[in-house]
Amino acid sequence: MSEKPADRSRRPARPPADGQAGEQAGDQAGERCDGQAGERSDSAPQQQRQQEQQKPQRSGPGVLAERIQYLFEHKRRPDGKRHSYREVLAAIEADGGPSMSVGYLSQLVTGVRTNPMLDAVQGLARFFQVPLSYFDAHEKTVETDERINLVDALRHAGAQEIAMRAVGLSPQSIEMVVSVIDHLRSLQGLPPAEPASGRIE
């Protein structure tokens, strides 16, 4: 009997050569690295967005600070210069108000400190001659600001310019101008002006 040829399909597969094994290992390692790099590249923007969201958002100085700044800018000394912090603090303390440091007032003006002492706000209101409600965030200050602006304008205007600007104003508005002028005279230590003989109607 003739022998059957050997079944080659049952022969064990030969192991790959060293070069082929190295290439396969390198390909697999490259795929793992690419996958990890992709995951890192995807997570990096997400982490950056989370960090930006966690950063505290900076806001403005606040209503209190803005209104104190407005007073320092528009409620000036009779010579037109701004009041210094030391000058304001000394006047408040002399008027029976609290003793505050320059740094404390500076923090109120810049908005670093937003919860001031009540007597500190009262002292500022008395010094700048505004109602205490002026520092209330819910209070409208249009009328007070207009009065402050009028005082500032009268300080820089001459008597003739004042008279020209008063033409056409209502009697109530003229009375307001007169009261502002009287207020400026008292600030400069001048005696009250003699009232006019006739009354504005």
* Tokens (6 digits) for 40: 């890192």
What is the model's pLDDT at position 159? 61
- Residue 103 counted as domain residue: yes
- Residue 183 counted as domain residue: no
Of 3-7, 72-76, 127-131, 142-146, which range is least confident? 3-7
- Residue 35 counted as domain residue: no
- Residue 177 counted as domain residue: no
Number of domains in the chain: 1
In terms of pLDDT, which residue wins out, 104 or 193? 104
Question: Does residue 132 register a pLDDT over 80?
Answer: yes
- Residue 114 counted as domain residue: yes
Provide the residue range defining the domain that includes 109.
63-135
Give the CATH number for residue 98.
1.10.260.40
- Residue 71 counted as domain residue: yes
Question: Does residue 161 register a pLDDT over 90?
Answer: no
- Summarised one tens digit per residue, pLDDT across range 73-113 is 988 887 778 999 999 999 999 999 999 999 999 999 999 99
